Structure 1
Amino acid sequence: MTGNSTGPQFSLLLPVYMNDRADHFERAFLSSTRDQTLPPSEVILVQDGEVPDLLASSIAKMKQSTKVPVRHIEIAERGGLANALTVGLNACSYDIVARMDADDVSLSSRFEKQMEKIADGYDLVGTGMLEFTDDTSEVIGKRTPPTGTATIARYSRFHDPFNHPTVMYRRPAVAAAGGYDDIGLMEDYWLFARMIQHGARVENLPEPLVMYRVGAGAYARRGGRKQFRAEWDLQRALRRAGFTTRFQFLRNFVVRGVYRFVPVSVRRVLYRRLIQRGFRDDTSGAQGQA
C-alpha cells in the first residue's frame, strides 16, 4: 500500500511519548498507514519528550517501512497531549486531519468511511470503538457513540460525545474553536464542546472502526484529586462558555466529581453504565438558559 497521492488528501496526527510500548506503536502505525484502504497523504509523528531506545528504534523502523511521507517532530521536553497535538496540527499540510493514538489499532476501512462523511460537509467525524486488553481477538467491550447533530449536541452537555482516538476533523473548524487546551485528560471534550458551540457540523459513525487498548491503569488514571480538579476546571469552563446551564453544571460536577473518588472497581462499572452512556434523556440543553 502506497501513500494517498490521488484520492482525498489528509494528514494523520499520531503523538508518541516515553510510556508507549514499541510493539504497540508499530501496530498502531501500520494499521493506520499500510493497512488502510484509503491511506493518509502524510503522517505527522509528534514525539513528546525523550523516549526509550527501543521505542526510538521502532520509530526509525516505521519511518522506513512506509511510502507515506512521515514528518517526525521531536519536542525536547514533554509538554503533555494538548501541547503535542497543537504542535502537530500546526505542522499538518492538509486541512483534513485524522487522529490516532500510539497504542490503538485502526480497522482497514476507517479512513475511507470517515472521509465519505467529511466529503458530505461535516467538520468532525468520530466512530465507535471495540475495547481490548492485549489481544485484539479478545474484545472486552464496545463503545457506540451518539449519532445525529442534535443528539450529539444534547449528549455533550453531560459527557464527551466523541471517542477521541477515532476522530477526523477539519483544521479550520478546530482553529475557529480555539484549538486544544490542557484540562487534565479532558482536552478533547473541551475542544469538541467548543466546536459544537461554534457551529461545526458533527457526526459519528456508530460502527466500531478503531480498537481501543484498555490498559491496567486506564480506570485508575480517571480518578484522584488531580482529575477531580480537572473536572472542576472543565465544568467551570463549560458553564462560563454558556455551553451548560446552571443545573447541568451542578449535576455534572456532583455526578462526575464523585466518580473521581470511588474505588477503581466501582469506577469501571459506573463508566460503562452511566458515564459512557451519558444522560441520553437529557433534553434540557443549554439553549436559552443562563
Structure 2
Amino acid sequence: MMADQFTLLIPVYRGDDAAHFTKAFSSSVTAQTRRPDEVVLVQDGPVPEDLAAAIELAISTSPVPVVHHRIPVNAGLALALTEGLAACSHDIVARMDADDISLPDRFAKQVPLVESGLDLVGTGMLEFLDEVGSIVGQRVPRTDAADIASYARFHDPFSHPTVVYRRSAVDRAGGYLPLGLMEDYWLFARMIDSGARVGNLADPLVMYRVGAGAYARRGGRAQWRSEVALQRALRGIGFTSRWQYVRNVVVRGGYRFVPEPVRKAAYRRLIARGGALPERTLDEG
C-alpha cells in the first residue's frame, strides 16, 4: 500500500531563538528516516534579523518543499496554526515547535498510526535544558483510547509539539480557537468529544526544551483566568460533569497559585508522569 503524504507545520515568531529553530527544522526534516512531503512554516509577525536569516537558510537548503506563510503582525498561536493548516496540501499534518527536537524515527513510527485509521496521535517527550544532553524529565502519556478520554476530563492528554493529526478531524471539531494559552487542550477535548479516533505512543520521540521560567509561566493570575475559561468551555459542551468542573477549578486552578518550587515538584510528580489523580477519581462524576 502506498504511504500517504503528510505536511509538517511549524509556527515561528519573534520570541524564538535562531539556533533553536535551525535545530528544530533540521531534526524534523533532514534528519528524519521518513521525511515530510512538505513543510508549512508560519511566520507570526516580524522576526529579528538573525531568525529571519535562519528561516531563509532553512528554506533554501530544505530537501522538501517549504511554504513560507507570513502573517503581517503577531496574531497568536491559534490564528497562526489556523492559517497554517489552511496552507497545508495534505490531510495528515505533523506539528512541531520552533525550539524542540524530533528524534530521527519520529514520523516513521507515528504517521503509520494515522494512516491506519487514527485521527490524532501524540508521543512521549524528553525534557531537556539548553544542552541536549541535560535531560531533566520525561512525559509518558496514556496510550489507550479509553484512558486518554478519561484523563482528558482532568488534563490535556497530548503534548502539543508531538502530535500528528488529520486536518479534516481538526476541522470537524471547529479548529483552533483562542483560549489563553490552552488552545491545544481545548481543541483536543473537542476532537475527542466529536468522535475522533485517538492514541499516543509512549516512546519519547520529541525532545522538549525547558527554558528559564517554564514553571513560573504555569502560574499567576493570568493563567488562572485562562484555566477558569477553559473549564467553563469544557463544561459548556458537556465534556465534563458538574463535579469534574468543580474539581478541576479547585485543583488545577489552585495549582496556579502555589509557590513555584511546589508547582515544579507537583508537575514532575503528577502531570509529567501521566498520573495526576487516581483512576477512580478521574472517572468519577
TM-score interval, normalised by the smaller of the two chains:
over 0.9
Distance in 2 separating the partners of 1:12 and 1:244: 32
1:228 to 215, 224, 235: 224
Distance in 2 separating the partners of 1:7 and 1:137: 34
Say if 2:133 is the partner of 1:126: no
Say if 2:109 is the partner of 1:85: no
Distance in 2 separating the partners of 1:26 and 1:100: 12
1:168-222 CA distances to partner (integer Å, 9 max, x unpaired)? 0000100000001111211111100010011100000000000000010111111
Matched-pair contact (CA < 8 Å) for 1:244–1:285: no
Distance in 2 separating the partners of 1:282 and 1:175: 33
1:170-249 matches, within 5 Å, as 170-249=166-245
1:133-172 matches, within 5 Å, as 133-172=129-168
- Partner in structure 2 of residue 59 of structure 1: 55
SS in 2 for 1:141: strand
Matched-pair contact (CA < 8 Å) for 2:78–2:183: yes
Q: TM-score, normalised by structure 2?
A: 0.96
Matched-pair contact (CA < 8 Å) for 1:155–1:282: no
Structure 1 residues 166-175 or 116-125, which shifts more?
A: 116-125
Gaps of 5+ in 1: 1-5
Identity of aligned residues (%): 61
Distance in 1 separating the partners of 2:45 and 2:217: 20
1:207-241 CA distances to partner (integer Å, 9 max, x unpaired)? 00000000101111111111111000000000011
Code of the residue aligned with 2:268 in structure 1: it is R
Distance in 2 separating the partners of 1:157 and 1:56: 40
Gaps of 5+ in 2: none
RMSD across aligned positions (CA): 1.3
1:2-46 CA distances to partner (integer Å, 9 max, x unpaired)? xxxx84300000000001000000000000000001100110000
Q: TM-score, normalised by structure 1?
A: 0.94
Q: 1:160 to 1:45 in 2, by over 3 A?
A: same
SS in 2 for 1:130: strand
Say if 2:252 is the partner of 1:256: yes
2:276 to 250, 275, 278: 278
